[in-house]
Amino acid sequence: MTNDVRSYVADHSADLLADLDAWLRIPGISAQPERRDEVIRSAEWFADACRRTGFPVVEIWPTDGMPTVYAEWPSEDPDAPTVLVYGHHDVQPVDPIELWHTDPFDPTVDGPVLRARGASDDKGQLLFHLLGVRAHLATTGRTSPAVTLKFLIEGEEESGSPHFEALLAERRDRLQCDVVVITDTGMLAEDTPSAVTGMRGLVLADVHFHGPDLDLHSGVFGGAVPNPAQAVARLTAALHDDNGRVQVPGFYDDVLELSEQERELLTRVPFDEARFLETSKSRALAGEAGYSTLERIGIRPTAEVNGIGGGYQGAGSKTIIPSDAFVKLSFRLVANQRPAAIREAVHAFIEEHTPPGIECTINWEAAGVAPCLVPIDTQAYQALSRAVCAAFDADLILPTWEGGSGPEAAIQQELQAPMVFLGVGLPDDQIHAPNEKVTLSMLYKGAEAAAHLWREFAEVGREGLKS
Ligand SMILES: [Zn+2]
Cα–Cα distance for residue pair 380/241, rounded to 1 Å: 39
The tally of CA atoms less than 13 A away on the side-chain side of residue 459 is: 11
User: Is the per-residue pLDDT at 259 higher than 90?
Assistant: no
pLDDT: which is higher, 345 or 401: 345
Residue 88: predicted pLDDT: 98
On whether the CB atoms of residues 187 and 193 are closer than 8 A, the answer is yes
Whether residue 60 is found in the same domain as residue 12: yes
Task: Tell me the pLDDT tens digit for each residue of 351-385.
Answer: 999 999 999 999 998 778 889 889 899 999 999 99
Q: In what order do the strands lie in the sheet with 148-154?
A: 57-61, 68-73, 148-154, 82-88, 179-182, 419-421
**Mean pLDDT along residues 113-118:** 98
**Mean pLDDT along residues 1-16:** 94
CA of 375 to the centre of ligand 1 (A): 22
Q: Among 344, 364, 384, give the residue marking a domain's end.
A: 364
CA of 125 to the centre of ligand 1 (A): 9
**If we measure between CA atoms, which residue out of 316, 303, 288 comes closest to residue 239?**
303
Cα–Cα distance for residue pair 171/165, rounded to 1 Å: 10
CA of 104 to the centre of ligand 1 (A): 16
User: Is the per-residue pLDDT at 404 higher than 70?
Assistant: no
Cβ contacts of residue 49 below 8 Å, gap of 6+? 19, 23, 127, 130
- Band (pLDDT 50/70/90 cuts) for residue 407 is confident
Whether residue 429 is found in the same domain as residue 452: yes
CA of 160 to the centre of ligand 1 (A): 10
127: CATH: 3.40.630.10
- Asked, for residue 222, whether it belongs to a domain, the answer is yes
Handedness of CA 307, 311, 317, 320 (dihedral sign): negative
CA of 18 to the centre of ligand 1 (A): 21
Whether residue 110 is found in the same domain as residue 190: yes
Burial code (b: 16+ CB inside 10 Å, e: under 16) for 80-97 equals bbbbbbbbbbbbbbbeee
On whether the CB atoms of residues 246 and 240 are closer than 8 A, the answer is yes
Residue 405: predicted pLDDT: 63
CA of 118 to the centre of ligand 1 (A): 8
CA of 185 to the centre of ligand 1 (A): 7
Task: Tell me the pLDDT tens digit for each residue of 9-49.
Answer: 999 999 999 999 999 999 999 999 999 999 999 999 999 99
User: How many domains, in total, are found in the chain?
Assistant: 2
On whether the CB atoms of residues 15 and 138 are closer than 8 A, the answer is no
CA of 267 to the centre of ligand 1 (A): 27
- Asked, for residue 220, whether it belongs to a domain, the answer is yes
- Asked, for residue 278, whether it belongs to a domain, the answer is no
CA distances from 80 to 122, 142, 454, 466 (A): 28, 13, 10, 14
CA of 172 to the centre of ligand 1 (A): 22
On whether the CB atoms of residues 249 and 345 are closer than 8 A, the answer is yes
CA of 39 to the centre of ligand 1 (A): 15
- Asked, for residue 107, whether it belongs to a domain, the answer is yes
Cβ contacts of residue 321 below 8 Å, gap of 6+? 211, 212, 215, 216, 217, 218, 221, 222, 225, 227
CA distances from 2 to 139, 418, 447 (A): 10, 26, 12
Residue 251: predicted pLDDT: 98
Residue 27: predicted pLDDT: 98
CA of 354 to the centre of ligand 1 (A): 41
Residue 369: predicted pLDDT: 86
- Asked, for residue 128, whether it belongs to a domain, the answer is yes
CA of 457 to the centre of ligand 1 (A): 24
Cα–Cα distance for residue pair 146/163, rounded to 1 Å: 32
How do the residues of the chain divide into helix, strand and coil, expressed in percent and rounded to 5?
35, 20, 40
Residue 279: predicted pLDDT: 87
User: Is the per-residue pLDDT at 122 higher than 80?
Assistant: yes
Whether residue 348 is found in the same domain as residue 405: no
Q: Report DSSP state, residue 257.
A: P
CA of 164 to the centre of ligand 1 (A): 14
Whether residue 232 is found in the same domain as residue 125: no
pLDDT: which is higher, 170 or 406: 170
CA distances from 446 to 5, 31, 351, 453 (A): 11, 28, 50, 10
Whether residue 408 is found in the same domain as residue 423: yes
Whether residue 170 is found in the same domain as residue 241: no
Whether residue 187 is found in the same domain as residue 143: yes
CA of 340 to the centre of ligand 1 (A): 26
Q: What percent of the chain has pLDDT over 90?
A: 90
Cβ contacts of residue 274 below 8 Å, gap of 6+? none
- Asked, for residue 280, whether it belongs to a domain, the answer is no
Q: Report DSSP state, residue 410.
A: H
DSSP SS3 for 13: helix
Q: Can the peptide bond before residue 122 be classed as cis, meaning omega within 30 degrees of 0?
A: yes
Residue 15: predicted pLDDT: 97
Whether residue 305 is found in the same domain as residue 180: no
Residue 327: predicted pLDDT: 98
CA of 301 to the centre of ligand 1 (A): 23
- Asked, for residue 114, whether it belongs to a domain, the answer is yes
Range of the domain at 240: 201-255+301-364
CA of 88 to the centre of ligand 1 (A): 6
Cα–Cα distance for residue pair 117/435, rounded to 1 Å: 7
CA distances from 425 to 116, 345, 390 (A): 14, 37, 18
Task: Tell me the pLDDT tens digit for each residue of 201-226.
Answer: 999 999 999 999 999 999 999 999 99
CA of 84 to the centre of ligand 1 (A): 17
Cα–Cα distance for residue pair 89/101, rounded to 1 Å: 23
Whether residue 12 is found in the same domain as residue 123: yes
User: Is the per-residue pLDDT at 58 higher than 80?
Assistant: yes
CA of 120 to the centre of ligand 1 (A): 8
Cβ contacts of residue 213 below 8 Å, gap of 6+? 323
CA of 157 to the centre of ligand 1 (A): 7
Whether residue 314 is found in the same domain as residue 402: no
CA of 341 to the centre of ligand 1 (A): 28
CA of 461 to the centre of ligand 1 (A): 29
- Asked, for residue 288, whether it belongs to a domain, the answer is no
313: CATH: 3.30.70.360
CA of 89 to the centre of ligand 1 (A): 8
- Amino acid 417 reads A
Burial degree of 59 (CB within 10 A; 0-12, 13-18, 19+): middle
Whether residue 395 is found in the same domain as residue 405: yes
CA of 119 to the centre of ligand 1 (A): 10
